[in-house]
Structure 1
């Protein structure tokens, strides 16, 4: 006997537009079991979720929570992946060692588009994922191939959101491809330890977006190498702490 919440989750996915096979994979059960649940007195499926997508609603220019969208955009550009199939699925991969980050990612997905969100355990990480017809509307940067092998350019409406919420955007970027570490140096025989932020990304375009957002907040940065950015000045670290902070 499977728990009722598992059945409810599978039916919710199916009614939101996922296939029986996709719903079965999401809950980790067999196709026949999930098919029986979904076909037993089926409810009308939601063929359109335009009411959940602010880009498709007439007269609506912003997401319900712009700060959460800016955060999710940063996560997506770092560790996210959007698969555009029969029912698009947005996935963000989060390491097991950061449970608060996993919860924050899930919360952001729910805030941006009120839809079902699942956690799929992988080796060493969790794929936080959500099926939804309109995810491609919200993340037009999706496309074939790796992000660093194709142009990544924000749409005008995305730039407007990031300009209003650069700290949340940076929090998403640093929570995905960044870290806050203690740097140790020795000067004239004396050892010093100071905190710094590092952001590493192979995409020149995504690195440029990180630099742009830091500039919006007046936070000093420098490049260690082509794919690595450092924020190390005391006042700059303190400023970034107010927006990002260490992962947990």
Structure 2
């Protein structure tokens, strides 16, 4: 870490600059480099930024009482439960990683956008691996907002929402379902055959499917479906399907297509 100058030195240098002193003379008088004087003028005079890094750190809704964009958080929570995880970095900074198919360019842009809404001032970055985009943003307080983090895979441990998270999902069930379905779900065409007038005919129909190996996450998904009055059924060991016309239409309206 570079040397941190006392505040009175910075204040004196800025006052000298305001009085018209040249940067070279100002730097010599205060025992700093010319580029340091120029940086101080750029940051604190022209841009008006406060000294230090406090202005770049978003207030935590849990620790600091900061504001939380609830619809964005509900959707991000769905993405996290489906295809996300936390990793711990240096100085107790947590990295939130969301994985998504590289074909869905719009959805990958949405992931970055809702990350910025949940962490104002955040700067998500992406990394491309074969067939997949990993979107990452760092924050000390992800562990506060995503207490479901823990050792091991999600389907090998208990996943339960905190009461405050349940309240947010109850208010914003659509975004939560969107995050889940766009990560671990799909809208697909299914077909069946029926005997009509002595002739077997094929019928095609759309359905939404959600697949996850965690029974707890499947339970959260079906609970959220109940909140928006969407009928569902288990169509496999790890799969929940919505096939009724009114349920499909409701999810089409709430979730929208992957793109």
Note the alpha carbon deviations across 1:101-137, whole angstroms, 9 max, x for none: 1011110100000211001111111100001111111
Superposed, 1:94-243 pairs within 5 Å as 94-114=100-120, 115-188=122-195, 189-243=200-254
Note the alpha carbon deviations across 1:29-77, whole angstroms, 9 max, x for none: xxxxxxxxxxx9699763797643211224x5x61x2101000000000
Offset at residue 85 of structure 1 (A): 3.0
TM-score, normalised via structure 1 length: 0.78
Corresponding residue SS for 1:247: coil
Structure 1's unaligned 5+ residue stretches are 1-39
Contact kept, 8 Å, 1:50 with 1:56, in 2: the verdict is no
Contact kept, 8 Å, 2:58 with 2:119, in 1: the verdict is no
Greater relative contact order, per chain length (Cα 8 Å cut-off, separation 6+):
1
Contact kept, 8 Å, 1:51 with 1:57, in 2: the verdict is no
Question: Which residue of structure 2 aligns with residue 74 of structure 1?
Answer: 78
Note the alpha carbon deviations across 1:73-93, whole angstroms, 9 max, x for none: 000000001012322100000
Offset at residue 226 of structure 1 (A): 2.3
Contact kept, 8 Å, 1:50 with 1:57, in 2: the verdict is no
Note the alpha carbon deviations across 1:202-234, whole angstroms, 9 max, x for none: 001000000000000110000012210000000
What value does the CA root-mean-square deviation take over the aligned residues? 1.9
Question: Residues 88, 47 of structure 1: CA spacing in aligned structure 2 closer, same or farther, 3 A cutoff?
Answer: farther
Q: How many residues align?
A: 206
Contact kept, 8 Å, 1:106 with 1:117, in 2: the verdict is yes
Contact kept, 8 Å, 1:180 with 1:245, in 2: the verdict is no
Q: Take 1:121 and 1:141, find their aligned partners in 2: how far apart are those partners?
A: 26
- Whichever of the two has the greater Rg, that structure is 2
Question: Residues 49, 155 of structure 1: CA spacing in aligned structure 2 closer, same or farther, 3 A cutoff?
Answer: farther
